[in-house]
Structure 1
Amino acid sequence: MNWRSIWAIYQFEMARTFRTIAQSVLSPVISTVLYFVVFGSAIGSRIDAVDGISYGAFIVPGLIMLTLLQQSVSNASFGIYFPKFIGTMYELLSAPMSFIEIVMGYVGAAATKAVMIALIILATSALFVDLRIEHPFWMLAFLLLTALSFSLLGFIIGIWAKSFEQLQLIPLLVITPLVFLGGAFYSASMLPPFWEVVTKFNPVLYLVSGFRWSFFGVADVPVGISLFAVTGFLLLCLGFIWWIFRTGWRLRE
């Protein structure tokens, strides 16, 4: 394992974050604070407790998950797309590195940035609502597994994209709607029976549900299924990336 090469990629990607800290860190944190103000204060004051939890506290895991997914995908996709855009991808492919080492560098940096922002938002949320974390170990486990799996998805999107427009297509038109419809701001049990069943076909529901369980001990689906879903998605993305490097799909175009 070429740890020096992994560290070089990781350092480069992290340095890019701190060079653009206003865009990379402050912007998503401010956006989430606005969600707290609108949903937690303005709307939450008119909504009864959900499963015995105040609405302001109930939406915290969903807001963190929304930001985590968006940041994981966007950071990883831009990180690998940029070498394609400026033409340094061939130097990367010709270096004495395996695909695992390349992925570890880019995905590790993207996941680190996403988790860092998620933890800042978690700390910020304590200024607005009273929070409790019943299962801190599982909270961190879901946080890390989700960040890694969606950073892998972002890596795939970055390889697939042929323009900056395509780079933003899936995060804006797929990821964000799935999070909003995946129980980020409500419990699936609040829906009519038919729509509750439909919602359970949304894969993001299992991520939000498991993450919320780690906070409050309540979930829309069994936590074991949530853990299985995020782990399975991570392995699926790893398998697809292995196929990309094995075949050279979109890498040598």
Structure 2
Amino acid sequence: MNFRAVHAIYAFEMARTGRTLLQSIVSPVVSTSLYFVVFGAAIGSRISEIEGVTYGAFIVPGLIMLMLLTQSVMNASFGIYFPRFTGTIYEILSAPVSPFEIILGYVGAAATKSVILGLVVLATSALLIPLQIAHPVWMIAFLILTAVSFSLFGLILGLWADGFEKLQVVPLFFETADVSVGLSLAMTVFFLAICMTTVWWIFKTGYRLKN
């Protein structure tokens, strides 16, 4: 395992976030806070508590996951598409770096940024409404697994896209009924495995990277 290469890709992607802090961090948090203003204040004030849970607290997990899914896909897809667009991807492909190490660098950076955004949104929510986290371990597990899974999906999207406009395509919607936590976690891991295999094959064969 070439940890120097993984760290170099990871550090470069994280540094790009630092250079675009307003767009990468502040803008998503502000847009999410608007949901609390509209739904939490305007609608939530008219809805009574159900079993001690306010309407504002009820929508917090959904807003966090919405932020996590969107940012994971966008961070990873733009992170791999821009080197393809500028031609700098050939420097990585010609370097002594395995496909798995490239995936670790890009996905690790995209997932880290997405989890940070999710935690920032959670902290912002706690300032606006009273929150109580009943299962913090499950929360962290789902945050990490979801961020990694959709970062892998974002890499696939970034490799498939042949124009910036295709990066704006809403990649996926989940509409799930009442399912158990275990089943939801298993489906997330399964989705992660599929995306991981696909991205590894793309970097291994060079599909859509060398044209």
TM-score by length of 2: 0.96
Q: How many aligned residue pairs are there?
A: 211
Report if aligned partners of 2:80, 2:106 keep a CA contact under 8 Å in 1. Answer: yes
Change in 2 beyond 3 A, CA 1:126/1:152: same
Structure 1: gaps (5+ residues): 183-198, 201-219
- Partner residue, 2:155: 155
Residue identity opposite 2:3 in structure 1 = W
AA aligned opposite 1:221: V
CA separation in 2, counterparts of 1:117 and 1:54? 23
Partner Cα distance (1:92, 1:120) in 2: 32
Residue of structure 2 in register with 1:127 after alignment: 127
Residue of structure 1 in register with 2:183 after alignment = 225
Deviations 1:220-239 (A, max 9, x none): 21111011011111001011
What CA RMSD, in Å, does the superposition of the two structures yield over aligned residues?
1.3
What does residue 244 of structure 1 align with? 202
Residue in 1 that maps onto 2:11: 11
After TM superposition, the runs of 4+ consecutive aligned structure 1 residues lying more than 3 A away are 48-52
| Paired residues of 1:50 and 1:58 also in contact (CA < 8 A) | no
* Cα pair 1:77 1:156 within 8 Å, conserved: yes
Contact 2:103 2:200 in 1 (8 A): no
Aligned to 2:70: 70
- Residue 29 of structure 2 aligns with an amino acid whose one-letter code is V
1:4 is paired with a residue whose SS is helix
Distance 2:204 2:66 in 1: 32
- C-alpha distance in 2, partners of 1:246/1:9? 17
Structure 1 SS opposite 2:127: coil
Decide whether aligned partners of structure 1 residues 51 and 149 sit closer, same or farther in structure 2, where only a CA change above 3 A counts: farther
Q: Determine the C-alpha separation between the residues in 2 that align with 1:229 and 1:102.
A: 25
- Structure 1 residue 242: deviation in Å? 2.1
Query: Counterparts in 2 of 1:106-145, with a 5 A limit?
Result: 106-145=106-145
Paired with 2:62 and 2:185, the residues of 1 have a C-alpha distance of 16
Q: Aligned equivalents of 1:90 and 1:43: distance in 2?
A: 52
- Larger RCO: Structure 1 or Structure 2 (Cα < 8 Å, ≥ 6 residues apart)? 2
Identity among equivalent pairs (%): 63
The one-letter code of the counterpart of 1:247 is T
Measure how far apart 1:241 and its partner are.
1.1
Structure-1 residue corresponding to 2:88? 88
Cα deviation, 1:123-151, whole Å, max 9, x if unaligned, reads 01011111111111111000000000000
How has the CA–CA distance of structure 1 residues 108 and 20 changed in structure 2, closer, same or farther, with 3 Å as cutoff?
A: same
Q: Which residue of 2 aligns with 1:22?
A: 22
Per the TM alignment, residue 51 of structure 1 is displaced from its structure 2 partner at its CA by 5.7
Alpha-carbon distance, 1:32 to partner:
0.8
TM-score (norm 1): 0.80
User: Any idea what the Cα deviations from partners look like across 1:140-163, whole Å, max 9, x if unmatched?
Assistant: 000000000000000111111101
Structure 1: which amino acid aligns with 2:134? E
Give the unaligned 5+ runs of structure 2: none
Q: Distance in 2 between matches of 1:248 and 1:22?
A: 34
CA deviations 1:29-79 (Å, max 9, x no partner) are 001110001011111112233565211000000000000111100000000
